[in-house]
Chain A
């Protein structure tokens, strides 16, 4: 193995340890943490890792501080961004059940996220509850929203307004979701 290859192989190992294992309360690693551990060429290490993960249907996902994705990020933006390992492809409904999601709960989450996106990222909790009550039993609606908040998909302010939180930004391709919903026959 060439010296250069060995150098990157060891960096990739270190990056995998950092990204796969949860180190803080929230999963993921900040750019500056990666820079500290891997050196200033950490974006290149992540790029190689991402290529490697392709075969495993995984990817390195970058979530920038700014809500919108950044096309050509600066080093400063990368340092402030958070990096995760996410699934690259899709789960089947059966697989979703296997990772602990009931189909109703997942549908409720999808409805909530889509509704909040359509309302420009902010919707009153009461309105979301009413929407979910249409398909979910009333007693479950509040519990489900609390669960989505606890998991980090949503956040709620003191005026009972719901917003999308860090996990939605990391896991959900919002544009794809809306496009797909509009294409449905319903």
Chain B
């Protein structure tokens, strides 16, 4: 008996091959009956119990989807065969290969009824055009109505860019360093054992400011300026600054910790209810 891993691998390859063949039948207008539908369904059914992960189930669904398209082509093929327009392509191809150019043209001319179309100016449209031209104002008069605003180019100052929110008033790294310093000061003043409650640090007078502080705190943790200590049972989160920034990338798998900073929590913290 094949080991399970090997069987899954073979199953995947088989489904991928089926998808490829179905696709080429669709794209290159090959005979849709080249595909044995029963056999394909048999293969899909055989490997279906093996699929556990979403990718494999998607592959299975894709195979069924492709097969459905081929079945549609088969049905169209049958329909076409039953119409009066159907001719055996091989027979027709043979005729086309053998027919002489002159005979082909003569045959085509019996079935060709070209469109009659004229492109001609009439006296009426000419008179109309002249009337239009006479009433048309010269360009310099028409364009008077749309004065173009003159824009002078000059150097923008740093203050202007800050006002337009293109630049921040401090470089981000500088801002982060200051925020780290603030964390260290607060831990010294209000903290215990070198750490401070998360909400005691991020909480501020306004909700907007609180969100801004939570945002900066997330960068302190990501960039290795601080770490989070989570006590799930007590539902307590502490933030602990490092003495020196540490880089964790590559040493340990990083995890994301979502912390909700909702307006409701902020109100509770303000009222001293968030312990």
Contact = CB atoms under 8 A, between A and B. Distances in A.
Given A134-B97, A174-B85, A28 B115 contact: yes
Main secondary structure of the interface of B (DSSP, over half): helix
B84 interface: yes
Contacts of B61: none
A114 interface: yes
Interface stretch (A7-15, A40-48, A105-113): A105-113
Contacts of A147: none
Interface stretch (B105-113, B129-137, B145-153, B172-180): B105-113
B100 A186 contact: yes
- Interface extent on B, as a size class? 35 or more
Given A122-B29, A181-B99, A186-B95, A110 B77 contact: no
A180 B28 CA distance: 28
Given A118-B89, A177-B107, A27 B76 contact: no
A27 B104 CA distance: 27
A22 B100 CA distance: 36
A181 B85 contact: no
B93 interface: yes
Interface string A160-186: 010000010011111111101110101
A80 interface: no
Size category, A interface: 35 or more
A1 interface: no
B116 to A, nearest CB: 5
Interface stretch (A30-38, A70-78, A88-96, A138-146): A88-96
29 contacts: A20-B117, A21-B120, A84-B115, A85-B117, A86-B113, A89-B113, A90-B113, A93-B106, A96-B105, A106-B105, A109-B108, A110-B104, A117-B85, A117-B87, A118-B87, A118-B88, A118-B89, A118-B92, A119-B89, A120-B80, A123-B29, A131-B93, A131-B97, A173-B111, A173-B113, A175-B85, A176-B111, A180-B111, A181-B107
